[in-house]
């Protein structure tokens, strides 16, 4: 339907006849109002540094021309929307451009658009879909595989996760999904196999051709064995007793004990007792476990609440029957690895000291955290609330922690952690934290407990990836006293009683950078840093004052001659991040960009 807009313009026509008069001229402008509505809707959702509001006025198309920035027209129809590098922010409307029927090119390249990718089902004429260099998250809509004329799809450098749908349009000649968090096998369609590895690179868990890392064969039944990852050269050392080495880093991981088969979390026992009191005990091992008489069994209030529908469900009873292993005892509670009878492995964290928390507060926070999905953040899959017990259930990451790979088994026989690996770990970490900050803008300090022992490392072929865990607990801690359990309580602004902000996490990130660069344990008094009270960032500042020198570097990366430029750059970022004044620290998104640049340059020089 074409709308006719009648612009009534006074035309001054001086007629040659003796009677001069004013004649009203009528200029006709045609356009499609539903296309205009769609564009205006887009403008309302996204805001930009360049002022679209004052530019997108009047009709979008005048036959083949448009007076609107970024819009191109053909036969009165909008055919191109190209809004590149104009600092577009915000997210796209859920239903999107449904009436711009003839759209063939849609580009938001190089902006900061966040949220899910739009549903483009109606846009059958689309040839170019260019969403690269943004902050899109979620998965690639499976509907994209049905765009019949799609030629170019650029999705690189976003935060996309999930699997790649089986694109197989023969029209597709250019495709790039690199630098995201996609996972799983690359579909074996003739079209997707046409592209090279560089279209798929830098997705932590993507596998299969044309990439070099092979997909794991179907998941083996989990065997009850020590974590498969070990940087230790002697695998015999499986009873890892961890030395509690330092003042504030170790708290959570301090107590990874030997395997304790059939150790069952008290709450599960209680639950079991209650539910099965009248039954004949079926399982000897639970019989043998004594439940402290004083432990009040929580009421059986509900089943576990699941946050991700893709994960097979289980209930408390299943958890109860699981074999459990203590992974760590920390300030916030004890963490267990649980192997369910069906072979599923999860991590359960039993929170302590949170009795004052109301059910509503807890559930709201868990639901909020459960929505956050990112390849560099450990996923919360489920939780349990009762008055006395609060349990958070996480995905299991077959892991080690950054703390362990950096500091454990130092000495003879250790396999050094090389510079490229350190950079890869740091890059993942920066990316995950930047995403967390973006996802929880209303939180004072989104992570609040960032330290090397809360960075889980998993190995995929020979590449290392990291995931952050233990985030998002600050809003659950009622008072300052409880906040002292978190890493942020070691920060200058905490001591000074100042307001805490996102920049508290940035500081903690800076400390981890220093830890990775120097190989030293933050806060630990060791040779050479006594005079600074064990404050690592002060120590590094002191060294930097005399000019940067490789002396500050961990011996394991000092020897390699290459990459000193990058090491210096990373040290500079660390120094900025650990500035005493929170406002002077950079934003996490900027830190992430800079770290990525450094990592990329390092790879090019390789």
What is the binding site for ligand NAG (CB under 6 A)? 34, 37-38, 41, 55, 57, 63-64, 67, 69, 74-75, 85, 87, 98-99, 110, 119, 121, 141, 143, 156-157, 168, 170, 176, 178-179, 188-190, 196, 198-199
Nearer to ligand NAG, 83 or 508 (CB): 83
Non-local CB neighbours of 556 within 8 Å, separated by 6+ positions: 416, 417, 418, 519
Q: In angstroms, rounded to a whole number, what is the distance separating the alpha carbons of residues 80 and 103?
A: 6
Please report, in angstroms and rounded to a whole number, the separation of the first and last CA atoms in the chain: 59
CA 581 from centroid of its chain's CA atoms: 26
Q: In angstroms, rounded to a whole number, what is the distance separating the alpha carbons of residues 186 and 358?
A: 44
Nearer to ligand NAG, 67 or 273 (CB): 67
Partnered with residue 324 across adjacent β-strands are 338
Q: How far is the CB of 182 from ligand NAG (least distance, A)?
A: 13
Q: Which helix (H) or strand (E) holds 274?
A: helix 266-276
**Sheet strands (E) in 340-446:** 345-351, 380-385, 390-395, 400-401
Q: How far is the CB of 215 from ligand NAG (least distance, A)?
A: 9
Tokens of 477: 């801690």
The total of other beta-carbon atoms located within 10 Å of residue 473's CB is: 24
Tokens of 3: 């709308």
Tokens of 282: 């079926």
Q: In angstroms, rounded to a whole number, what is the distance separating the alpha carbons of residues 448 and 475?
A: 10
The sign of the dihedral angle between the CA atoms of 589, 375, 339, 278 is positive
Nearer to ligand NAG, 309 or 479 (CB): 309
Give the single-character DSSP code of 194.
G
Q: Tokens 């660069």 map to which residue?
A: 517
Q: How far is the CB of 114 from ligand NAG (least distance, A)?
A: 15
Which residue of this chain has its Cβ atom nearest to ligand NAG in the complex?
85
Tokens of 113: 């658009």
407 phi, psi to nearest 5 deg: -110, -15
Q: How far is the CB of 309 from ligand NAG (least distance, A)?
A: 15
Residue 61: helix, strand or coil by DSSP? Answer: coil
Burial of 596 (0-12, 13-18, 19+ CB in 10 A): middle
Q: Would you list the DSSP string of 118-161?
A: PB-TT-TT--EEE--SSEEEEPPPGGGGG-TT--EEE--SSEEE
Q: How far is the CB of 308 from ligand NAG (least distance, A)?
A: 17
Q: How far is the CB of 134 from ligand NAG (least distance, A)?
A: 11
Is it true that the peptide bond before 210 is cis, omega within 30 degrees of 0? yes
Q: How far is the CB of 38 from ligand NAG (least distance, A)?
A: 5
Q: How far is the CB of 80 from ligand NAG (least distance, A)?
A: 11
Nearer to ligand NAG, 100 or 557 (CB): 100
Nearer to ligand NAG, 213 or 344 (CB): 213
Q: Tokens 């362990």 map to which residue?
A: 404
Nearer to ligand NAG, 112 or 353 (CB): 112
- Give CA separation, 151 vs 119, 154, 288, in Å: 17, 10, 65
The sign of the dihedral angle between the CA atoms of 54, 59, 62, 64 is positive
Closest C-alpha among 318, 316, 516, 504 to residue 416: 516
Q: How far is the CB of 131 from ligand NAG (least distance, A)?
A: 12
Q: How far is the CB of 508 from ligand NAG (least distance, A)?
A: 29
Q: How far is the CB of 570 from ligand NAG (least distance, A)?
A: 21
Nearer to ligand NAG, 139 or 401 (CB): 139
Q: How far is the CB of 40 from ligand NAG (least distance, A)?
A: 9
Nearer to ligand NAG, 28 or 225 (CB): 28
**Sheet strands (E) in 315-389:** 323-329, 333-339, 345-351, 380-385
Q: How far is the CB of 150 from ligand NAG (least distance, A)?
A: 13
Q: How far is the CB of 205 from ligand NAG (least distance, A)?
A: 17
Q: Would you list the DSSP string of 532-585?
A: GTT-HHHHHHHHHHT---GGGS-HHHHS--TTHHHHHHHHHHHHHHT-SSGGGS
Nearer to ligand NAG, 49 or 581 (CB): 49
Q: How far is the CB of 179 from ligand NAG (least distance, A)?
A: 6
Nearer to ligand NAG, 190 or 545 (CB): 190
Longest dimension (CA), the chain: 117
Nearer to ligand NAG, 554 or 599 (CB): 599
Tokens of 220: 């083996």
Q: In angstroms, rounded to a whole number, what is the distance separating the alpha carbons of residues 52 and 56?
A: 6
Closest C-alpha among 71, 41, 68 to residue 57: 68
């Amino acid at each position: 339907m074409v709308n006719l807009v009648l612009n009534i313009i006074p035309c001054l026509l001086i007629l040659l006849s003796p009677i001069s008069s004013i004649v009203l001229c009528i200029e006709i402008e045609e356009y499609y109002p539903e296309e205009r509505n769609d564009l205006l809707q887009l403008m309302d959702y996204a805001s930009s540094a360049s002022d679209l509001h004052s530019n997108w006025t009047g009709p979008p198309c005048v036959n083949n021309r448009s007076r609107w920035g970024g819009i191109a027209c053909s036969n009165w129809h909008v055919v191109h929307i190209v809004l590149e590098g104009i600092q577009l922010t915000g997210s796209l409307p859920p239903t999107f451009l449904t009436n711009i029927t003839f759209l063939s090119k849609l580009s938001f390249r190089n902006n900061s658009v966040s949220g899910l990718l739009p549903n483009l089902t109606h846009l059958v004429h689309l040839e170019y879909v260019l969403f690269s260099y943004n902050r899109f998250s979620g998965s690639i809509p499976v509907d994209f595989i049905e765009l019949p004329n799609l030629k170019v799809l650029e999705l690189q450098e976003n935060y996309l996760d999930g699997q790649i749908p089986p694109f197989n349009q023969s029209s597709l000649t250019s495709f790039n999904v690199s630098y995201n968090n996609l996972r799983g096998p690359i579909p074996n369609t003739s079209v997707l196999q046409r592209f090279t590895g560089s279209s798929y690179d830098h997705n932590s868990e993507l596998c299969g051709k044309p990439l070099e890392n092979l997909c794991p064969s179907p998941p083996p039944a989990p065997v009850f064995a020590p974590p498969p990852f070990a940087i230790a050269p002697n695998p015999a050392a499986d009873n890892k007793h961890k030395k509690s080495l330092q003042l504030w880093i170790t708290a959570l991981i301090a107590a990874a004990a030997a395997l304790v088969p059939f150790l069952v979390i008290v709450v599960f026992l209680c639950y079991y007792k209650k539910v099965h009191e009248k039954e004949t005990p079926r399982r000897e091992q639970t019989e043998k476990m004594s439940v402290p008489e004083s432990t009040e069994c929580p009421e059986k209030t509900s089943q576990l609440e699941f946050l991700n529908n893709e994960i097979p469900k289980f209930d408390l009873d299943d958890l109860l029957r699981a074999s459990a292993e203590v992974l760590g005892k920390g300030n916030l509670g004890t963490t267990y690895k649980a192997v369910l009878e069906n072979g599923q492995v999860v991590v359960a964290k039993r929170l302590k000291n949170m009795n004052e928390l109301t059910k509503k507060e807890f559930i709201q926070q868990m639901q909020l955290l459960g929505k956050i999905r990112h390849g560099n953040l450990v996923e919360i899959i489920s939780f349990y609330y009762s008055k006395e017990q609060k349990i958070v259930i996480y995905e299991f990451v077959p892991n080690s922690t950054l703390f362990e790979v950096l500091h454990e088994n130092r000495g003879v026989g250790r396999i050094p952690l090389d510079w490229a690996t350190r950079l890869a770990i740091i890059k993942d970490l920066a990316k995950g934290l930047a995403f967390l900050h973006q996802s929880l803008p209303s939180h004072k300090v989104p992570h609040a407990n960032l330290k090397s022992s809360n960075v889980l490392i998993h190995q995929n072929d020979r590449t290392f990836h990291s995931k952050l865990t233990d985030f998002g607990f600050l809003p659950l801690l009622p008072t300052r006293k409880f906040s002292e359990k978190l890493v942020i309580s070691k920060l200058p602004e905490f001591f000074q009683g100042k307001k805490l902000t996102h920049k508290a996490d940035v500081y903690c990130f800076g400390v981890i950078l220093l830890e990775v660069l120097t190989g030293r344990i933050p806060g630990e008094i060791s040779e050479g840093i006594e005079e600074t009270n064990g404050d690592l960032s002060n120590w590094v500042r002191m060294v930097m004052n005399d000019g940067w020198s490789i002396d500050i570097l961990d011996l394991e990366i000092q020897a390699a001659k290459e990459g000193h430029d990058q090491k210096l750059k990373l040290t500079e970022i660390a120094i900025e991040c650990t500035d005493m004044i929170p406002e002077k620290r950079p934003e996490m998104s900027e830190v992430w960009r800079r770290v990525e640049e450094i990592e990329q340059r390092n790879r090019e020089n390789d």
